[in-house]
Structure 1
Amino acid sequence: MITTRSLIRRATAVAAAASAAVVLAACGADGDDRGGAAHNGLDAASPSASAPAQQGDHNGADVAFAQGMIPHHRQAVDMADLAATRAESAEVKKLAEEIKKAQDPEIKTLSGWLTAWGEQVPAGGSGPAGHEGHDMSGMMTAEEMKQLHSASGKAFDTAFLTMMVKHHEGAVTMAKTEQADGTHQGAEDMAGQIITSQSAEIARMKALLGQS
């Protein structure tokens, strides 16, 4: 009787242990599957989560801003270059140098963005009639650039200030459009800087022209 009971107890214990092992194995497998799926899900989700951010960090307005502002800035720099030898006013020469110092680096930055975005960087122009984008806001015509090239002394100062006021006003308009429609943070920040700095320069130039 004792032997029989012992055998039954042992068999029951073995069966219980086997059942527990099966349950634990199943739980472990389920846990691993869930953990693996979760881990794999994160790995798989990471690229898809970051892709929209990478693709959406700029839009058509940002491209238009960069492609438009590059030739706009180039023309301003060319106009400012003339002041060193043609301007009479020390204030005009100082202003022209400040314009070059501000806009040259912006041209490089804008060109870098377009290259990174896989967009075309506008070709450079040279000379009075060598500028692209004359239909953009505030751009000087070829005739106006020829006029500026041929002027000197007080006549140059007046022509330069008058034209640069118009030029700056165009840049401010373009920058406001970027702020309204763009999505690239760097471009929006640059637009804000352009609005602030060039609005101040417009007031300064108008004062030199006696318009304030």
Structure 2
Amino acid sequence: MRRSTPSTLLVAVLLVAGCGAGPPDPTGTTAPPPSEPPATVAPAPASTAGPFSPTDVAWLQLTVAMAERLLPVLELVPARTTDPAWRRLAAQVEATERADLERARRLLADSGAPATNPHEGHDMPGMVTAEEVTVLRAATGSPFHRLLAGHLRAHLAQATRVAVAEQRAGSHPATTAMAGAVVRDGDAHLTRLDRLDRPTSTAPPTTAAAR
């Protein structure tokens, strides 16, 4: 399993670096250490109309913010690599992200939530920073592949993690159904990425091999 098990209660407070301080956790639980950020999403407006819960709206807002960060990275791929396998993977992920972005925006409009992005300017888990995009723009070939793989893996793992939390804690049927699709697509993309980006073994040679 790639994803961490999320809390069964998705607290509507984002307690991750770069997103500012929020109100205390109403559950009274202790936040995980920085190396394993909690699967939580940002606060949603208390006045959200219709059958959407604050958790549903918060997850949709985070999904929009994450997709908007990843798409500029995927748009770099055709100019930074000629490898058909990497181009194909980037195109597949881009198609999924654009579809999810459109669907999330449509659901947010249905919910009556503000159209503004509450995560604007925040660097959160799974998001590519402006500095990292600058580094990507200067890379080509294998170095670009390594950087791209790291960013894709971080994004897909975090998107899957919070989508599982939405499935468990959300209440709006179309939104939780979308979360299920995000989990399935994320796992499929991670499997394709693993085939392209196999880790290189760093184990020392055995005594027999050394002789």
TM-score (structure 2 length as normaliser)? 0.66
- CA root-mean-square deviation: 2.3
Deviation at 1:203, TM superposition (A): 2.1
Q: Does 1:85 align with 2:79?
A: yes
Contact 2:160 / 2:183 at 8 angstroms: preserved in 1?
yes
2:156 equivalent in structure 1: 168
- Number of residue pairs matched by the alignment: 153
Aligned in 2, Cα 1:133/1:186: closer, same or farther, shift over 3 Å? farther
Q: Deviations over 1:129-154 (max 9, x none)?
A: xx64422x311222222211221122
Instruction: Name stretches of at least 5 consecutive residues in structure 1 with no aligned partner.
Output: 1-54, 126-130
CA distance in 1, matches of 2:79, 2:189: 21
1:140 equivalent in structure 2: 128
Larger Rg: 1
Between the two proteins, what is the percent identity of the paired residues? 22
1:98 equivalent in structure 2: 92
1:208 equivalent in structure 2: 196
Aligned in 2, Cα 1:161/1:198: closer, same or farther, shift over 3 Å? same
Aligned in 2, Cα 1:132/1:185: closer, same or farther, shift over 3 Å? farther
Deviation at 1:123, TM superposition (A): 4.5
Contact 1:148 / 1:156 at 8 angstroms: preserved in 2?
yes
Deviation at 1:101, TM superposition (A): 1.1
Q: Does 1:181 align with 2:169?
A: yes
1:15 equivalent in structure 2: none
Structure 1 stretches of 4+ with a deviation exceeding 6 A read none
**AA aligned opposite 2:88:** K
Q: Which has the higher contact order (CA 8 A, sep 6+)?
A: 2
Deviation at 1:206, TM superposition (A): 2.0
Instruction: Name stretches of at least 5 consecutive residues in structure 2 with no aligned partner.
Output: 1-48, 201-211
Deviation at 1:174, TM superposition (A): 1.2
Q: Does 1:62 align with 2:56?
A: yes
Contact 1:72 / 1:133 at 8 angstroms: preserved in 2?
no
CA distance in 2, matches of 1:204, 1:98: 10
What secondary structure sits across from 2:127 in the alignment?
A: coil
**AA aligned opposite 1:209:** D
Alignment of 1:115-126 (within 5 A): 115-123=109-117
TM-score (structure 1 length as normaliser)? 0.66
2:141 equivalent in structure 1: 153
CA distance in 2, matches of 1:140, 1:175: 19
Aligned in 2, Cα 1:57/1:187: closer, same or farther, shift over 3 Å? same
